[in-house]
Amino acid sequence: MKLCLILNVIDPKIGGVMIMGDRGTGKSTTVRSLVDLLPEITVVAGDPFNSDPDDPELMSEEVRLKVQQDQPLPSALVKINMVDLPLGATEDRVCGTIDIEKALTEGVKAFEPGLLAKANRGILYVDEVNLLDDHLVDVLLDSAASGWNTVEREGISISHPARFILIGSGNPEEGELRPQLLDRFGMHAQVTTVKDAELRVKIVEERGAFDQDPGEFREKYLGPQSELQQQITEARVRLPGVKIEHELRVKISRVCAELDVDGLRGDIVLDGHEQGRQGAGGAPGPRRGVAQGHPHRDPELPPPPAEEGSARVDRFGAAGGGEV
C-alpha cells in the first residue's frame, strides 16, 4: 500500500490506487497521512483550478486567454492538494455550478468550481468508494478518462482541466465496485488484519503514544518524514530522464498477454510503475508491479494476499519475466 501511494505521487500518470481490506486496518489513516509527504507544485496565483503557468494542457480557459493576450501570470508554490469526496456529495458539489441568472443578466460565465477543480493536479480521495452513488461514479469515469470536467447548464458550457490521482479505499464486504471504475485505478493494494502478536502490540503502543502526546509523537518521526519527502521530490525531478529498456517493455507486454489481461491499461500501468521505481532509485524489476497492477485486471485469479500477490508473481516468471 505504501509503495503504491508513493509511486503515484512520483508519477501521477500511473493512474491512482484502489485500497481494499478489512475494517480498522488503517487504510484511511494511511492515505490521509500522505498529505505531509506531498511536494510543492507551481500554480497560477489565485487560480481556482491550480493551472500550470507553463503547460497549456493544464490551464483553465481564463488563464489560456491571458496567455494569448500576453498578460503576466503571477505564480506561486503550493503543496499538492488532497481533496476528500464525501459519499453524500451532490453532482453540483463535485463538478461545480453555473450561476444562470448572472450569466443571462450580465453576460458572463459565472462558475463556482467544485471538488474536481480543486483536485486538479492533486489527489482525489474517495473513502468507501464501493458505496459511491452510480451518478457520481459516471462523473469520475468521464473526468478520469478525459482529464477534463465539463459543466453544461441551459446552453452554457464551461470546461476546465481535471487531472488528478484517484485514490479509493473500501471494505469488499460492504459492496462491490463497478468494473468500469475499478479498471480506472492503475494499481491495487489488498490490506488484511495483522496476525503477528508482537506487531499488533507495537501498533497498539504507537497509537497509545500518539493519544497521550500527539506533538511529541509527530516530532519523533519528523526526521524520517522529511527524508522521505525529499526522496519523493528528487524522484519527481529525475522521472523525465528515466528510460525503460525496450527489452524490459517487451517482457512486460508479454506478461500481460500471457496473463490474459483485458485491454492495454495493464501494460501502461506496469511501464509507469517501473519508471516510477527507477526514478526513486530502485533497480529494474517489474515483478512486484505485477502483484500491484494486475489483481483487478486478471480475469482468472482471485485477489492476491496483501503481502505478495504471489500467484501473479509466479506466473510473471513463467511468462518470461525471469528474475528482473
pLDDT in tens, 88-98: 899 899 999 88
pLDDT in tens, 118-153: 999 999 999 998 888 888 888 887 888 788 998 887
Report pLDDT digits (tens) over 261-306: 777 877 888 887 787 777 777 655 545 444 455 455 554 444 444 4
Residue 247 pLDDT greater than 70, yes or no: yes
CA distances from 303 to 41, 73, 125, 309, 310 (A): 35, 48, 22, 7, 10
Rounded Cα distance, 275 and 235, in Å: 10
pLDDT score for 212 = 94
Cα dist from 249 to 210, 252, 263, 265, 278, whole Å: 45, 5, 16, 14, 14
Residue 50 has pLDDT above 70, yes or no: yes
CATH class of 2-39+80-191: alpha beta
The 10s digit of each residue's pLDDT in 3-34 is 889 888 888 888 889 999 888 888 998 998 88
Residue 107: per-residue pLDDT = 59
d(CA 68, CA 197): 63
- Segment 37-53 shows an average pLDDT of 91
Average pLDDT over residues 39-59: 91
Number of alpha helices (DSSP H) and beta strands (DSSP E) in the chain:
15, 11
pLDDT at 298: 55
User: Strand, helix or coil at 318?
Assistant: helix
Mean pLDDT of the region 238-250: 86
Distances (CA, A) of 98 to 89, 106, 156, 221, 259: 17, 13, 8, 45, 46
Amino acid at 156: I
Give the domain ranges of the chain. Answer: 2-39+80-191, 197-239, 242-321
Q: Report the SS3 class of residue 124.
A: strand
pLDDT (0 to 100) of residue 135: 84
DSSP element (H, E) containing 33 = helix 27-33
Residue 109 is predicted with a pLDDT of 65
Residues whose CB is less than 8 angstroms from the CB of residue 279 and which lie 6 or more positions away in sequence, other chains included = 10, 11, 235, 236, 238, 239, 242
Q: What is the DSSP string of 125-182?
A: EEETGGGS-HHHHHHHHHHHHHSEEEEEETTEEEEEE---EEEEEE-GGG-PPPHHHH
Q: What whole-number distance in Å separates Cα of residue 282 and Cα of residue 33?
A: 23
Per-residue pLDDT reduced to its tens digit, 153-193: 777 788 899 999 999 999 888 888 877 777 778 888 888 89
Helix %, strand %, coil % of the chain (to 5): 50, 15, 35
Can you tell me the distance from the alpha carbon of 191 to that of 4, in angstroms, rounded to the nearest whole number? 12
**Is the pLDDT score of 311 beyond 60?**
no
- Asked whether the predicted pLDDT for residue 316 surpasses 50, the reply is no
pLDDT score at 1: 86
The distance from CA 88 to its chain's CA centroid, rounded to whole angstroms, is 21
Q: Are 109 and 162 in contact (CB under 8 A)?
A: no
Q: Which residues are catalytic?
A: 265
**Chain CA centroid to CA 296, Å:** 16
